[in-house]
Structure 1
Amino acid sequence: MAGCKAWFSFFPHGKWISVSLGVILFLILGVTPGKGLSRLRHSENEGRPSASRTQMDLPNIQTEGKLHRVQVHDTLTLPCDVRNLGPMVLLWKKGHRVLTAGRVTVRRDRRIALIGNNLQIADMNIHDGGEYVCEIEADADDPIAIVHTVEILVPPSIMSEPRSGNVTVRKGTTVSLECKANGNPTPTVSWTKISHKRHRSIPDKDLTNHGMILTLDNVGRRDAGKYQCTATNEVGKDAVKYIHVAVLYKPVVVVHEASVQGGENRPVTLTCTIHADPPASVTWYKNTLLIGNSPGYLFNVQGDHHSMMIANVGIEDFANYSCLAMNNMGKEEGIIQLRGNPDTPVLDPNVRMLTESSWKLSWITKSFANITEYRLLYRKVPDDGNPPDTTYAWNNVILPRQNAHGGYEQYQSYDIQHLSTNSKYEVQVQAKNNFGWSQRSESLRFSTEVHKVVEPPSLYTTPHYHHPIASVTSWPDLPNESNKQQAVSRNAMFQEYGLSEAGTRLGELWSSLLSLSMTLIFVVATHYSSAVWL
């Protein structure tokens, strides 16, 4: 600044000389002042492209790569949105293999097609999974590319081992059932035992190798049957296979009635249920004699049930019978007794009180032959007040039959006298016919505890007693039983409507007086009318 001032002070016209030199300089360059600066800057950057122009002009891919999950036989389109491709070449690759180059399909696969710049694959199969690259071969060292990952979802499939689906083992051994499952995602395998009654799921503790192997230890006849293995991975339908397991074992004989009552001149059927694999041959014996095709016997087989019917039972037929089952694994027999003595009597649990010291028992006995007599046994049961080892002796009472012809179900009752009040008793019964005694019945226990029931006041204030064990209410033998029941019904009505006995009786008296008054009025009116007419 000091120099300029010196210049202008030394040359009075120096300011004009400077302006003139500037004008001459711009004329020589042939530009205006603003354009000249731009030209200088351009000369400095010549040979280097503009950054903004690079982004706009170079090719680029707008699509982002992603994961595609498709099922087999589906059609998949992989997008690749390209901008400013220009003379560059667009490639589609799978791994290192080129599928398309520009508009040319390099891979000879009719399923592959270009839709614009997008790659379309029809009827996908399990081999089409992998990485697909959309790439632009540009001048740069690194190509411009995106990667799509394709995962093929495969429905489950199962192969059983053995492939026949049939397994035969001996009882007591260990067997493994296998179902090999394939699919994507990896399927889960579950097992179910199929039967005509119900399906039973197999617990996980018996499964190994991701559920593909089912191990059965110490197999028995109940393990035999059809097993179902199911593979699922939520893609398509579940895959199912069946394996039939046969367990070889010796016969198992089940007798449902070890003792059967028969009646003379009546038919009777004896039945054995036999389980065996392989199937067993069955023969019947009377005591130790083979029955075979003897007359008077009919044989029938329905599934596992083997039966023998004696068409007309005689006294000589009362014996022990056995069904013998045999196969190559062993043999077993079941024994059934055919008898003529009665079935075990059945006591009625409702024991009725007659008085405070007498109680009525009743029971029913099934017998084809008439009962000749009964044996009643009863005793007192120790209560909490007795020493722990206290026992009472049985009272034994022999009773004759009540009815000469009681039918198959024969009824009997008995009144036990002189029982202690507020005590507990137990009782058993046996029955006898011409073929012998029956088994003792199960013990029946009852209490002689008496509860006095308090009722609302009534015309009949007779108390009644309630036995809580037998749940039977009884009245003492008193006259006017019907009047007493009416009184009880009336008291129930009083309680329901909130009325008192005295109030109700007063109402009844008032009703009677009103009725009598109306009758007198009618008589007087009739007499007066007669007098007028006369």
Structure 2
Amino acid sequence: MLIGRITCVITREMLRFVWIMFCLFHICIIGTHATTNRAFQSYPTTINTYENDTVLLPCYVEDQGAPPRIRWWRENSFVADSLEENRTSSERITLFKNGSLQVMHVQREDSGQYVCQAIRPSPWGHVTQVHEIEVMYPPSVETIPASGELEVNLGERVYMQCVAKGVPAPIITWRTKDEEIPLVDVRPQLSFQAENRNLSGRYTCVATNDVGDPAMAHIDLRIRYKPEIYVRKSWMHAYPGIRVQLDCTVTAWPEAKVEWYFKNETVKYTSRIVKHNDGNDHNILIRNVKISDYGLYLCRASNSLGITEKIVELSEIANPAIFKKESRCTSSTSYNFIWEVDSYSSIIEYQFWFRKYKKDSGGEWHKLYIPGNSDAVSSVHVRSFNLTGLDVATHYEAVVLSRNRYGWSHPSEILRFHTEGASIDSSENFAETDGDLEQNRIAGIPFVSMSQHYPLAADANGSMYHRVKTLSLMLSMICTLITIFDSRF
């Protein structure tokens, strides 16, 4: 019990002590605040203004019977003193007799805190009041890198930055290809992976703060990558005596060096064989084609990041047939096909291959021989063929090859078609050609592609080109003999 009473007394004394201290602290705070308010008739303020405006900072002190001495300071630097009327930090500053400070034609460097110090006679002492000037001005922006140009390798990380100035603090957004880049938050640094060369281009950062016009700066990004080659036709048909052009379109950064090779040697340009460059297009024009011009032409592009090559073959063999859109179903068991072949030499015959089609599988191929148009006078040969005896409501696919006096052509793109009543899956396109299939693996089609990529190298027995060409011709002759034997028996 005694211990309990002692504890209770101690607790009450501690609470009383805390309460007394709180009251004293509160009185001190109130007293100080009251003294400050009594000393000044003006109030601290922040003035937002624009360049070349005039600002008046008040410093009204209560009259205590004798005028106080007024001093003004800015960021700890002297500005003006009422006892030294002719001394101010700038010709644009005026100190009035009531203590107010006037700043004319304010500039950006005038921004900051201004302290008014009133020195009063005893017993009142010194009092101070703080004002602030914030000079607002339009944004400006600079890029990092400062040159506004940036290069990275394909696959590397891209970092670009804009440093903006202005009051209020500007907000930065980014644009490219006339579209704003969506960002999770507004930030001055833009970072992404250069995973696609099409990300090259101009990037613009825009700084806005609702004062004046937005500021813009540009960074031109270039992504370095090894050459990429596109050939419009990897197989070119030409008849002796005509004019033909081999196309090779090259894109690369840094810019690629492009060369053409024929029979393992650089092409020798003459008045008949002319090289023509136009931007990314690197073409060879052959006037008056000769038999010696037939073969594989290699377009090679190289830069500091690598080498890329593509083959264009010039041949007297007919171009692959193209199925026309006019092909259509003529009955529940028949389908009429129309195709077109580009060949300067007459088409002797066609091979027509067809089979039933099922997704991810196919039936056995059936082959038909169809006579050509031997009396055709144009280089474009059009043939129509009506296939009968088909099953009702069934899907099929077909391929056509053409033969002129020089041999069999490449197969056409596969045409998928169906007879009346067949259901069509939205994921499958029937009655359309499909060039993505591996057509050359169709069993029994007598075709050997000569459009292979062979390295530009020679061994002790001669050039690789001649060896490959000889092997290709031998295989073509064997396949042609097989086709003739098969047609007779």
CA gap of 1:271–1:392, structure 2 versus 1, over 3 A, is: closer
Instruction: Decide which of 375, 383, 387 is 1:404's aligned counterpart.
Output: 375
Once structures 1 and 2 are overlaid, which stretch shifts more, 290-299 or 327-336? 327-336
Q: Give CA-to-partner distance per residue, 1:403-438, whole Å, 9 cap, x none.
A: 722624332212223334444443332222223333
Instruction: Decide which of 430, 433, 437 is 2:404's aligned counterpart.
Output: 433
Partner of 1:443, secondary structure, is strand
Aligned-partner Cα distance in 1 for 2:214–2:330: 73
Matched, 1:110 2:86: no
Aligned to 2:322: 346
Q: Give CA-to-partner distance per residue, 1:189-232, whole Å, 9 cap, x none.
A: 44445xxxx34655658x9xx84444465677555554444433
Aligned-partner Cα distance in 1 for 2:219–2:130: 46
For structure 2, the 5+ residue unaligned runs are 1-37, 423-429, 432-489
CA gap of 1:244–1:374, structure 2 versus 1, over 3 A, is: same
CA gap of 1:85–1:274, structure 2 versus 1, over 3 A, is: farther
Aligned to 2:208: 232
Aligned-partner Cα distance in 2 for 1:64–1:347: 89
Q: Give CA-to-partner distance per residue, 1:129-148, whole Å, 9 cap, x none.
A: 23335676666626677543
Instruction: Decide which of 109, 115, 122 is 2:104's aligned counterpart.
Output: 122
Instruction: Decide which of 354, 360, 366 is 1:395's aligned counterpart.
Output: 366
1:297, CA displacement in angstroms? 1.0
Q: Is the 8 A contact 1:88 1:136 kept in 2?
A: no
Q: Is the 8 A contact 1:90 1:134 kept in 2?
A: no
1:102, CA displacement in angstroms? 8.2
The answer to which structure has the higher helix fraction is 1
Aligned-partner Cα distance in 2 for 1:354–1:241: 64
Matched, 1:153 2:124: no
Aligned-partner Cα distance in 2 for 1:254–1:69: 61
Partner of 2:292, secondary structure, is helix
1:70, CA displacement in angstroms? 2.1
CA gap of 1:314–1:236, structure 2 versus 1, over 3 A, is: same
Q: Give CA-to-partner distance per residue, 1:120-160, whole Å, 9 cap, x none.
A: 21232333223335676666626677543222334333344
Tell me which amino acid in the other structure corresponds to 2:366: N
Instruction: Decide which of 48, 66, 77 is 2:56's aligned counterpart.
Output: 77
If the length of structure 2 is used for normalisation, what is the TM-score? 0.64
Within 5 Å, give how 1:299-314 maps onto structure 2. Answer: 299-314=275-290
Tell me which amino acid in the other structure corresponds to 2:106: M
CA gap of 1:449–1:161, structure 2 versus 1, over 3 A, is: closer
Aligned-partner Cα distance in 2 for 1:420–1:276: 52
CA gap of 1:351–1:311, structure 2 versus 1, over 3 A, is: closer
Aligned to 2:274: 298
Aligned-partner Cα distance in 2 for 1:109–1:415: 100
Q: Is the 8 A contact 1:283 1:292 kept in 2?
A: no
Aligned to 2:416: 444
CA gap of 1:82–1:435, structure 2 versus 1, over 3 A, is: farther
Aligned to 2:244: 268
Aligned-partner Cα distance in 2 for 1:171–1:381: 42
Aligned-partner Cα distance in 2 for 1:189–1:356: 66
CA gap of 1:86–1:258, structure 2 versus 1, over 3 A, is: farther
Q: Is the 8 A contact 2:88 2:94 kept in 1?
A: no
Aligned-partner Cα distance in 2 for 1:108–1:394: 99
Q: Is the 8 A contact 1:424 1:448 kept in 2?
A: no
Within 5 Å, give how 1:510-529 maps onto structure 2. Answer: none
Q: Give CA-to-partner distance per residue, 1:363-420, whole Å, 9 cap, x none.
A: 233333332222222334569xxxx98x643332211125722624332212223334
CA gap of 1:142–1:434, structure 2 versus 1, over 3 A, is: farther
CA gap of 1:355–1:190, structure 2 versus 1, over 3 A, is: closer
CA gap of 1:200–1:252, structure 2 versus 1, over 3 A, is: farther
Tell me which amino acid in the other structure corresponds to 1:155: P
Q: Is the 8 A contact 2:269 2:275 kept in 1?
A: no
Aligned pairs, number: 383
Aligned to 2:349: 373
1:304, CA displacement in angstroms? 1.9
Aligned-partner Cα distance in 2 for 1:342–1:436: 8
Q: Is the 8 A contact 1:92 1:119 kept in 2?
A: no
Identity %: 27
Aligned to 1:67: 46
Tell me which amino acid in the other structure corresponds to 1:341: I
- The structure whose Rg is larger is 1
Instruction: Decide which of 276, 293, 300 is 1:317's aligned counterpart.
Output: 293
Aligned-partner Cα distance in 1 for 2:306–2:397: 47
Once structures 1 and 2 are overlaid, which stretch shifts more, 358-367 or 297-306? 358-367
Q: Is the 8 A contact 1:89 1:102 kept in 2?
A: no
